[in-house]
Structure 1
Amino acid sequence: MALLETRLLEIDRRGYRSYQKIKGEYTYSDYQIYLEHIQLDPHAPPSRVRIVRPWAPIKLDFLLEKSNSYQIAARDFIARQLYQLLHKHPHLQMQRPSQHILDATQVIFQPEGLEIRVEVHLPEQERKVMGKQAITLLTETLPKLVRKVTSIHELDMQALEMHAHLAEDQEALRAQLADAGLVAFVAEGSCLPRLHGSSDKPLPDAHPLQVPDSLAVTLHAPHAGAIRGLGIKRGVTLILGGGFHGKSTLLKALEMGVYNQIAGDGREYLVTDPQAVKIRAEEGRCVHQVDVSPYINHLPFAQNTQAFVTQNASGSTSQAASVQEALETGATCLLLDEDTSATNFMVRDQRMQALIATQDEPITPLIDRIQALKQVHQVSFLMVMGGNGDYLDVADTVIQMRNFQPVDISAQVREICQTYPLTRPQLPPCPALMPKTRALKCASIRKALDKGSFRIKLTDNQRQVRFGHELIETQTLEQIAAPAQLLACVWLWVTWLDPSLKLEKNPSAHLNALLARPDWYKLLPQDRGDLAKPRVQEVMAVLNRMRIADFSV
C-alpha cells in the first residue's frame, strides 16, 4: 500500500488538524503528487495540491517546441477542460476560466513534466478526518480526472490546436499594429455587446460589426489569413453617438483587446496596443508623490503638485494622477470615457474661462495638453464623447456609433469645426508633460505585512485584495481580466520584502523585467494554481492604490 494511503488510514477519525501529517511528496506509477499546503480547519481556505505527469507517457512533449503564445493557449485549453470535470466534484476546485486566454498557473509546463495545480477540500465529519474518503479523493478521483486532460489520447488535440492557433493569430495581429500606424483593430463581423453588466460573455444574436471602407484596413494572421476590419489610427480618436448606440461598448471591447480572447467570444480578432491604459476619475483614492503639475497647479495651502500626495483625491486630481501613473509605466495609448471622467479635468469652455480667471483656476484641462502629448510624446487617445464638442478640434479621427455600427464622420466634423469655430483661449504649452520616475520605499511594503499575520488574499467580491493589514480597493481598474491577475499583482510585491532593500529606484522597470521572463511564475509560491500574469500597468495601478505605499522623487 502506498505511503499516502497508509498515512491517511493512520489518522482516520482523528482531529482535522491531523491532516497536516500527510504533507509531502508521493510517487505513483504515472504521476507524482505534492501536498504542500494543508488546511488547518474545514472552513479554512482549501488545501493546495500539485500533480506532475512525466512527458514520456502522455506524449505531449512536442508542446515544448511550440511558440510561447501557443504554449500559453495550450495550458489554458487544458485548464478549461479540467475545470469542466472538477466543478462537478464538491471537494475539488480551481479558478473559473474567463473569456481571455491568460498565462495562468493552473497548468504549468515543467522540464520534468506537465503540472496541474488544484485546490482540495479534504473530507471531514464533525471536524474529524475522513481517511478512507480522502484516499478515494486523492488517489483515485483526482488522478483519474487529471489523466483525462493530460494525455494525447484523451485530449481533443484538434480543438487544442485551434485554440492555440487563434491565440497565435491574435498575437500576430497585435504585433502588426505599430507598423500599420494603428492603436487598435476590430475585425469585420465581430460581436461586441456583452450579455449584461456583470457578465463578459457575448450577447446572443448581436449584430456583427460592419466596417466602412474609409476606416477599413486589412491585416494578416498566420492561420486565418487576411482579415478586414476597423483600423483605429494613432493620434486622437473620438467615438461619438447617441445614447445606447454602442459608444461605451466599443471602448470596453478595446480596453480588453490587450488580451487574447477565446473562440466564440465575438472579439476573437479584436486587438489593442498592449500598452493601452484605461483612465477614469476616482474620487477618494490615494495619490503618492505623483507629478500632476501639467494639469494641477497653485492649489490652496501651497500644496506641492510636482510631488502630489493625498489620501482623498478629488475627481480631477485623481484622473490627473492616473494619467501620469499610466505614462510612468510606459503607456502609449490612453482610453477615456466622458461618463467616467471629471468634467473639469477634461475641459473648460469659453464662458468658464471668462468667468474664472486663470490665476484662480488650478486645473489645466486635458484638452489643452492633448496635442503636446500626441505630437511630442507620441501618446494616442481613444475617447468616448457624448456631450463635449470642444474635443472635435483636436481629433484626428471621429467615429460615430449608429445602432452599434461605426460610421466615419471625420470629414463632417472638419466642416462643422470650420463653420462653428471655437474661440476659447489656448493655454501656453507645458515644458514637461511626462512624469518623473518615482522610487518605491520598500519598507512600506514590509510594513503592511509586519502587523499581524502574513495575509495575501482576495475578498469575497474578488475586486478587493488584502495585503497584510491593508485592504486595497481595485473596483475601478477595469483592465484586470480575472481575479487571478489581481492576486498575482500583490504577490509580485513580495520581491521587495528583502530587508536589505531600501529603495526600488524604478519599480515599473523592475516589474517589466520580471514579467518578461517566460518563467515569471517561479517568483511566486509554487503551490498556487490561482494566479495569472498581469501587465505591469495593473501591478503598478494596484500598488498606487495601496494607502500606506510610500514613494520618493
Structure 2
Amino acid sequence: MQQSTDLQNMLHSIHRKSYPAYKSLKGAYQFGHYILSVDHVQGDPFASPSHISIRVSHKTAGFPEEYLQNPVTKITLCDYLTRQFEQQINRFSFRAKGSGKSGLISVSHCGQEVLKRTACEITDQGITARFFIGFPANGRTVNSVELEKILFDFLPICVQKAFLYKNLDAKKLEEAIFLAEDQAYIREQLKKEALAAFVADGAILPRESGISSHPMKDSIPFQSPDTLRVTMTLPHKGKITGMGIPEGITLIVGGGYHGKSTLLNALELGVYNHVPGDGREYVVTNDTALKLRSEDGRFIKDVDISLFINDLPNKKDTSCFSTEDASGSTSQAAGIIEGIEAGSKVFLLDEDTSATNFMVRDSFMQKVIAREKEPITPFLERAGDLYHKAGISTILVAGSSGAFFHIADTVIQMDSYYPLDITHMVKTLCSQYPLPEISVPGFHFPKSCRIMTKAASAAPRSPRRDSDRPDRLKTKTHGKDGFSIGRQDVDLRYIEQIVDTEQTASLSILLKYAVEHLIDGKRTLPEIVEYLIKELDRKGLGFFSNNSYISCGYASPRAQEIYSCFNRYRRP
C-alpha cells in the first residue's frame, strides 16, 4: 500500500496538467489514523464528483464492542457516524475553489428514519465511510494545490471528529443505540401481543410541513385511550405506555383535519426506526406493513385479481390479469394481491386515495345494479377473510361510508388529534342499522403465474458476438419518484413508504442486476426477489453494482418496496 506522502508527491507532479491526469491518483493510501482510497475519478470538473472512501480500524475507532454485535446496533452506529461526518464536511465543502464541482465534499444526507446505507458500513476490518469530492480544476486544468488542501488539511479533521469514539458525544451515541434496541424490542412485542402497531403516549405525530419530516412545534402530544392502552417495559427506557392497535380490522374515523391521515402516515413510516427527537421514535408498526392506494394507469402483469374482480363483460381472465393501463379498482386489487405475495401482514389504506367502487357498494347501489352485473367484490366484503383466513390485518382511514363500521374489530375516532376508542358505541349503532344480506363469492388464495421476462427496452442496441455476455443497461434515478432503466421509466410515485432517494437508487441497481443476470423467462418474480433479498442480507448492496468499488448513495429498501418496484417494471 502506498503512503500519504506518495499521494502528495503525485499531486505535485500533476499540477496544471490536463484534467485526466487525476486518474493516476486511483488507489489506496495510508494516512495516520485511516486508509484513504480514491475509488473513481470524475472525467472532468463538471461531471459527477469523484468517489472516495476511508477505512478506520476498530482499534483506532475505539467504539464499545457491544455496539458492533448485531445488525440493529451496527446500522444505528453507521447512521450516527454518517450524520456526524456530514456535519463536519459541510464546514469545508466548496472552500477549495475552481470550475464546476471543484471543492464539493458531500455524503449521504440522512432523514428522520434510520436506514442501512453504503455511506458507512462496519465490517470485520473496521469502519468504512464513502463520500464524494469534486476534484478542483481551473477550466479543465488540474488544480492539485486545492485538492491537497481537501485531502491533507480538511479531511483529517473531519475523520478525527466524526469516526473516533473519544471525540464524539458518548452520551448521545448511547442514546441512539439504546433507542434502536428499544424500538427493536417493541417490534418483537407486537408479534407476541397480537398487535399491528404501537403509538406511545407523548408521541408527536404531525410534521413541520408538507416538505419537512421534522416534528411540528407546539403540536398536541398523542394520548392513548384507556381501553387501548398497553404497557411495555423496554430494555433501556423502562416502562412505556401507549395505544396498541390490535390485529384484525381497525377503522380510523373523525372529522376533516382532526388527525386521521396524520396517524396513518405515522403508522406507515413506523416500519422504520427513527432518530432521537423525531417525535415518532416510539411509533412502531409491524415491519411488513404495506400502504396501498389506487394507481390509475399503472402496469399490471399476470396477477390473479379474481378474489376482487371476476366475470368481466369481455370475458377477460382475471386469474392471470395483465394491463398496460389499469383503472383505479384493478390497480388497487392488484396491489393487495402483490402485497400478499410480498408477505405483508398489515395493509394500510386511506379512503381518500382509494378507488371508491373498489372499497364499497352501498345498499342502494346494490339494489340498482344486481350482483351478477357487478364484477367487483369490494374490499368491504373481503377484509374479514383477509384477516381470518390469510392473517392479514387492515388499518383503514374512512370518512364517508358507514358500511366499514360493520366489519371493524376496533374503531378509533380522532378528535382534535386525540384518539377515542368508540368501538362499543359503534357496535351498538350497527345493530340498529344492519347491512342487507349479501352473497359473497368464496375466499381463495391467489394463484401465481408470474414468470418474469425482459422488456424490449432491456434488449441490447446492437448484436453481440458473445451471446453469453449479459446486457449492460444504464440507470438514472429521478429523486424518490422513480428511475429509468434502459429506455424505460419505472414510476414509483405512489410507493409511499420509500422515504429516501437512495432507496430508489438501490431499487434501480437491484432491477438492473435482475434484468442482466436473473430474468430468463423461467424464474418467477418471487424467486427472483427472494434471491435478491438473500444476497442483499449476505453481501450488501455492493454485490449488485457493476463497478469494482462500492459507491456512496444507496440505502437498503424493504422486501415490500422491492416487490413493488419489480411489479411496475413493464415487460411483455
Cα 1:156–1:504 change in 2 (3 A) is: farther
Look up the equivalent residue of 1:113 and give its one-letter code.
Answer: G
Look up the equivalent residue of 1:492 and give its one-letter code.
Answer: L
Does residue 475 of the first structure (1) align with residue 493 of the second (2)? yes
Look up the equivalent residue of 1:333 and give its one-letter code.
Answer: V
Aligned partner of 1:354 in structure 2 is 367
The DSSP-based 3-state class of the residue aligned with 1:96 is coil
Does residue 290 of the first structure (1) align with residue 309 of the second (2)? no
Does residue 521 of the first structure (1) align with residue 541 of the second (2)? yes
Aligned partner of 1:511 in structure 2 is 532
Does residue 458 of the first structure (1) align with residue 458 of the second (2)? no
Q: Is the 8 A contact 2:215 2:279 kept in 1?
A: yes
Q: Is the 8 A contact 2:411 2:426 kept in 1?
A: yes
Question: By how many angstroms is 1:378 displaced?
Answer: 1.0
Q: Is the 8 A contact 2:452 2:520 kept in 1?
A: no
Q: Distance in 2 between matches of 1:501 and 1:338?
A: 39
Q: Is the 8 A contact 2:230 2:241 kept in 1?
A: yes
Q: Distance in 2 between matches of 1:322 and 1:128?
A: 53
Question: By how many angstroms is 1:420 displaced?
Answer: 1.2
Cα 1:527–1:140 change in 2 (3 A) is: farther
TM-score (norm 1): 0.94
Aligned partner of 2:517 in structure 1 is 498
Cα 1:445–1:134 change in 2 (3 A) is: farther
Aligned partner of 1:420 in structure 2 is 433
Matching residue within 35, 40, 63 for 2:38:
35
Question: By how many angstroms is 1:427 displaced?
Answer: 1.8
Cα 1:252–1:448 change in 2 (3 A) is: farther
Q: Is the 8 A contact 1:369 1:429 kept in 2?
A: no
Q: Distance in 2 between matches of 1:482 and 1:186?
A: 23
Aligned partner of 2:126 in structure 1 is 113
Unaligned runs of 5+ in 1: none
Look up the equivalent residue of 2:348 and give its one-letter code.
Answer: L
Q: Which moved more, 1:120-129 or 1:159-168?
A: 120-129
Aligned partner of 1:279 in structure 2 is 292
Q: Is the 8 A contact 2:477 2:508 kept in 1?
A: no
Question: By how many angstroms is 1:398 displaced?
Answer: 0.2
Aligned partner of 1:311 in structure 2 is 324
Alignment deviations for residues 268-320 of structure 1 (CA, whole Å, 9 cap, x no partner):
11100111100000001111111111111222433221111111111001101
Q: Distance in 1 between matches of 2:457 and 2:53?
A: 29
Q: Which moved more, 1:231-240 or 1:507-516?
A: 507-516
Does residue 447 of the first structure (1) align with residue 458 of the second (2)? yes
Alignment deviations for residues 411-442 of structure 1 (CA, whole Å, 9 cap, x no partner):
11101101111215232323x1335263333x
Q: Is the 8 A contact 1:316 1:342 kept in 2?
A: yes
Q: Distance in 2 between matches of 1:304 and 1:43?
A: 53
Look up the equivalent residue of 1:471 and give its one-letter code.
Answer: D
The alignment covers a number of residue pairs equal to: 545
Question: By how many angstroms is 1:507 displaced?
Answer: 2.7
Q: Is the 8 A contact 2:302 2:449 kept in 1?
A: no
Cα 1:499–1:421 change in 2 (3 A) is: closer
Q: Distance in 1 between matches of 2:485 and 2:115?
A: 23
Aligned partner of 1:320 in structure 2 is 333
Q: Distance in 1 between matches of 2:196 and 2:460?
A: 40
Matching residue within 181, 201, 213 for 1:200:
213
The DSSP-based 3-state class of the residue aligned with 1:309 is strand
Q: Distance in 2 between matches of 1:114 and 1:86?
A: 17
Q: Distance in 2 between matches of 1:474 and 1:311?
A: 16
Question: By how many angstroms is 1:450 displaced?
Answer: 6.1
Question: By how many angstroms is 1:539 displaced?
Answer: 1.0
Q: Distance in 1 between matches of 2:492 and 2:486?
A: 16
Alignment deviations for residues 434-466 of structure 1 (CA, whole Å, 9 cap, x no partner):
35263333x44992676897423322x442212
Q: Is the 8 A contact 1:329 1:508 kept in 2?
A: no
Unaligned runs of 5+ in 2: 95-103, 463-470
Aligned partner of 1:84 in structure 2 is 87
TM-score (norm 2): 0.91
The DSSP-based 3-state class of the residue aligned with 1:237 is strand
Question: By how many angstroms is 1:41 displaced?
Answer: 2.3
Q: Distance in 1 between matches of 2:290 and 2:461?
A: 33
Cα 1:493–1:338 change in 2 (3 A) is: same
Q: Distance in 1 between matches of 2:34 and 2:473?
A: 32
Q: Is the 8 A contact 2:28 2:37 kept in 1?
A: yes
Cα 1:209–1:450 change in 2 (3 A) is: farther
Aligned-pair identity in percent equals 36
Q: Which moved more, 1:40-49 or 1:279-288?
A: 40-49
Q: Is the 8 A contact 1:328 1:435 kept in 2?
A: no
The DSSP-based 3-state class of the residue aligned with 2:176 is helix
Q: Is the 8 A contact 2:485 2:512 kept in 1?
A: no
Q: Distance in 1 between matches of 2:264 and 2:280?
A: 12
Aligned partner of 1:434 in structure 2 is 446
Matching residue within 132, 135, 139 for 1:122:
135
Look up the equivalent residue of 1:456 and give its one-letter code.
Answer: T
Aligned partner of 2:280 in structure 1 is 267
Q: Is the 8 A contact 2:518 2:528 kept in 1?
A: no
Q: Is the 8 A contact 2:480 2:492 kept in 1?
A: no
The DSSP-based 3-state class of the residue aligned with 2:561 is helix
Aligned partner of 1:25 in structure 2 is 28
Does residue 143 of the first structure (1) align with residue 119 of the second (2)? no
Q: Distance in 2 between matches of 1:249 and 1:415?
A: 28
**Where do residues 35-54 of structure 1 align in structure 2 (5 Å cutoff)?**
35-54=38-57
Question: By how many angstroms is 1:530 displaced?
Answer: 1.1
Question: By how many angstroms is 1:4 displaced?
Answer: 1.9
